Structure 1
């Protein structure tokens, strides 16, 4: 397998349309340019304009929640330094992991209305929402740089029957976007790309390769979408339902938890 020449990577290209020409697939961009190719792999995210053109009937399933993400420079206590943690309470959640010594990647999921649109007060508003959470969550937020906190609406869409049409193939969130509660979005895109590369090397045509990739990947990707959606709903439970959820999670045998992880991380390719 050859490494892609950096000169072949074109940046700042906004997709406009795709059409079949006698010479191949013509992809038009907002700057007026057009590129013709034998096949197209669309890795353009949950709001993929290429998927919208090919499969316009996709039905989104929004959660109504917003996720704020950031990086904080903070030294955590030793027990948290090599851990991936998430805390749930009162219908909101906070997750974090140390990605380098003294650098923590974090996310905060809140209900609409808890954090307003004024970015100048964003950090203070998040601190107010999570002020009752245990260490190190308040410390992480206190060290956050307000200007670098980003916002996303949480959504996914019901699994689609086809990931390709002719010589155009969707991968990653363009094909099977999931909510972030399993941390598998980027992972599933990488798996798509890995399997697709194998299929392109083994099959006679791109169209056959795209179909083979979907056969290998669809069941697993659909499981991630549905399980992540279920975990998300469970995390928002409050009151009696939330207490019952906590009891069940504490009582779950370690073997059952391990089986769930095995299903996520075991591969068939």
Structure 2
């Protein structure tokens, strides 16, 4: 009995359960659910951390929406900020670090301060670039003595900041089920039962939010922005609490 994992270096390990927590491109998932296909969101993202004069005066997190583009700023202490940017682009573009930075400076020229300063101050080789993928919620995460966790099971676009959070929640749920249930099948069934609905809500809500945030049509953007201004703070806070205020 048990399950045996074989690794690329030729080694192997045997255990009672194999947990595939190997990311959105999971090798484990491809082995047990080969039919799952990634879906491209339609936009790509750049990220970076930078220090600069005056950045210590940034004291609030913000995300600014434009037409087919967004820019987020998160102060992380001292004079450093974490930043991210998105733009509607085909997937798989191959560019040098210098080309990425030049594209960012062009796309965000004229945006409010300190967007351009943040991009300009970031070393081109320190800018991370990723196409944004997920896949729709799947009905099962487990097969026999193998189960999935985190992005391998329930990846989400980053619009709600919940990717790592959901992996942590699922880790706790799986550990608790394994400790408290009398059999492995019962533990895995409980783990999935407790986690599927919530992770599906996160994935689907984040996908829809991204589609709205990345609108390009000027008329639709105007409607979107008007609705956002009219939406009561209580509604916004309610969605944040539902996502981030969850008790596992």
Q: TM-score by structure 2 length? A: 0.92
> Aligned equivalents of 1:77 and 1:247: distance in 2?
32
Residue 70 of structure 2 corresponds to: 93
Tell me, yes or no, if structure 1 residue 184 matches structure 2 residue 143. no
> Aligned equivalents of 2:94 and 2:225: distance in 1?
30
* Structure 2: stretches of 5+ with no match in the other structure: none
Q: Could you tell me whether the CA contact under 8 Å between 2:55 and 2:80 is conserved in 1?
A: no
Deviations 1:172-225, CA, capped at 9 Å, x for gaps:
111111111111101110111111111111111233222111111111111100
Residue 31 of structure 2 corresponds to: 53
> Aligned equivalents of 1:249 and 1:52: distance in 2?
40
SS at match of 1:31: coil
Q: Could you tell me whether the CA contact under 8 Å between 2:56 and 2:80 is conserved in 1?
A: no
> Aligned equivalents of 1:50 and 1:145: distance in 2?
36
User: Which has the higher relative contact order, 1 or 2, with Cα contacts under 8 A spaced 6 or more apart?
Assistant: 2
- Aligned Cα RMSD in Å? 1.7
Aligned residue pairs total 244
Report how far residue 229 of structure 1 moved. 0.4
1:6-155 superposed matches below 5 A: 22=1, 24-74=2-52, 75-76=54-55, 78=57, 80-81=58-59, 83-112=60-89, 117-155=95-133
The alpha-carbon distance between structure 1 residues 29 and 160, as it changes in their structure 2 partners (threshold 3 A), is same
Deviations 1:128-150, CA, capped at 9 Å, x for gaps:
11111101211211211211212
Residue 225 of structure 1 corresponds to: 203
* Structure 1: stretches of 5+ with no match in the other structure: 1-21
Q: TM-score by structure 1 length? A: 0.86
